[in-house]
Amino acid sequence: MALTDSLDELITSGAITPQLAMKVLQQFDKSLADTMVKQVRVKTTLKGHLHTYRLCDDVWTFIVKDPSFKMDNNDYVKAPRIKIIACKNGEAIEAGRK
């Protein structure tokens, strides 16, 4: 959210173009996905109330109310609401088109 808000401000002020902002967001998504795959090793269990789910263009969106996360090191994290967006990674999409 902070990144998109900052990019919106930069676009509004004329410091960057909307096309550059889209490239920044795409790179952020790729970098985050790579980091999650390569560096995150904690397993998590999620419990909560599934409020909404939908599938559009091979992208799942889940909204969970009152989620609690239990990490494999017995740490707990709670939140009032989370939104999970899940989609195929780039390699799976590329393989499916061949």
**10-51 pLDDT, tens digit each:** 999 999 999 999 999 999 989 998 998 898 888 899 999 999
Residues 81, 54 share a domain: yes
Same domain, 48 and 83: yes
- Long-range (24+ apart) CB contacts under 8 A made by 28-31 are 28/3, 30/90
Q: Is residue 98 part of a domain?
A: no
* Same domain flag for 56 and 84: yes
- Cβ-contact 85, 29 below 8 angstroms: no
Percent of the chain residues past pLDDT 90, beyond the cut: 66
What pTM was estimated for this model as a whole? Answer: 0.57
Question: Residue 81 is part of which domain span?
Answer: 42-88
Q: Summarize the confidence of residues 43-71 as an average pLDDT.
A: 94
37 and 3 both lie in a single domain: yes
Q: Cα–Cα distances in Å, from 41 out to 11, 38, 72, 93? A: 37, 8, 10, 24
Number of independent structural domains in the chain = 2
Gap between the Cα atoms of 36 and 56, Å rounded: 24
Judge whether 96 lies within some domain: no
pLDDT recorded at residue 97: 46
